[in-house]
Amino acid sequence: MVADLEADLKVSSVEVEKIKVEADKQATIVGAEKEIVDAEAEKANTESAKCAVIAKNVAEEMASVQKDLDAALPAVEKAEAALAGLNVKDFEMLKALNNPPAAVGETFWCVLCLLAGIAPDIPVQKKSGKLDVDGNGWKVSLKLMANPQGFLVLLNSFKGEIDADKVKPSNFAAIRGVLAKEEFTPDVLEGKAKAAAGLCDWIINITTYYDVFVSVEPKKAKVAAAK
């Protein structure tokens, strides 16, 4: 009987050892799998942290862009107010002139430069898209003033053209020389023609808005690249 018990004990010991070996194998596998899971979890946490930083940076850049554009809104409001102060009679007086004062003609030339490529009635060079009036700027201006109300609507919609990136930089570059003149002010032009004074005010302020709009382009590009 004792021999039988000893034999059974040996068998049981062997079975226990097998179970122990198998348990160790499973523990090793589970441990390896846990390491993989832990590594993936750490990787996911790292990526999540990176995304959070990117999202924070994008939000900050967008806030900066909006802040700059908001700062330019007063210029837009001034431009709109300048146009709101004009009426059909102001243009009717100018339409009667065959040869306007130089300052008035220069003001309308600036308007034509800005609207080049936007207003279909304004002739432009095929390759560059720049204004192409060849000394006939006043004749083209008279065509625009043939419908004073339509002309004002066109000017009021110009900000939208800027926002849609439809206005070429060359349009504004063409008028910088005129803007730099000390006498190019609404007050000076008021003595020449009310319509010209209003347009001068509009030109100055819409240019201020455009300059701010262009200045935030690098920030907008940075935001787009980060998304």
Give DSSP secondary structure letters for 121-187: TS-B-TTT--B--TT-HHHHHHHHHTSHHHHHHHHHTHHHHHHTT-S-HHHHHTTHHHHT-TT-SHH
**Residue 105 vs residue 33, higher pLDDT:** 105
Residue 66 covered by a domain: no
How many structural domains is the chain composed of? 2
Least confident of 89-93, 168-172, 188-192, 194-198: 89-93
Residue 63 covered by a domain: no
Average pLDDT taken over every residue of the chain:
84
Closest to 92 measured CA to CA, from 38, 27, 130, 148: 148
Residues 134 and 192 in one domain: yes
Please report the pLDDT score of residue 96 as a whole number: 87
Is residue 22 predicted with pLDDT exceeding 60?
yes
Share of the chain above pLDDT 70, in %: 77
Share of the chain above pLDDT 90, in %: 52
Q: How far apart are CA 76 and CA 80, in angstroms?
A: 6
Residues 82 and 47 in one domain: no
End of a domain among 27, 57, 87?
57
Residue 50 covered by a domain: yes
Residues 39 and 137 in one domain: no
Closest to 184 measured CA to CA, from 172, 158, 175: 175
Q: How far apart are CA 160 and CA 136, in angstroms?
A: 28
Binning pLDDT at 50, 70 and 90, where does residue 70 land? confident
Distance in angstroms between the alpha carbons of the first and the last residue of the chain? 81
Residues 120 and 19 in one domain: no
Residues 23 and 130 in one domain: no
In this prediction, residues 12-40 reach a mean pLDDT of: 71
Q: How far apart are CA 21 and CA 18, in angstroms?
A: 5
Cα distances (Å, whole numbers) of residue 21 to 17, 26, 29, 31: 6, 9, 12, 15
Residues 189 and 78 in one domain: yes
Range of the domain at 122: 73-226
pLDDT in tens, 73-105: 788 899 999 999 998 889 988 988 889 999 999
Residues 83 and 23 in one domain: no
The CATH number for 96's domain is 1.20.920.60
Please report the pLDDT score of residue 4 as a whole number: 59
Residue 68 covered by a domain: no
Please report the pLDDT score of residue 106 as a whole number: 96
Residues 38 and 98 in one domain: no
| Residue showing tokens 């800005």 | 114
Is residue 2 predicted with pLDDT exceeding 70?
no
Residues 203 and 121 in one domain: yes
Least confident of 73-77, 156-160, 196-200: 73-77
In this prediction, residues 106-132 reach a mean pLDDT of: 94
Please report the pLDDT score of residue 86 as a whole number: 93
Radius of gyration of the chain (CA): 37
Q: How far apart are CA 154 and CA 186, in angstroms?
A: 20
Residues 45 and 108 in one domain: no
Closest to 185 measured CA to CA, from 173, 201, 172: 201
Under a CB-based contact definition with an 8 Å cutoff, are residues 87 and 149 in contact?
Answer: no
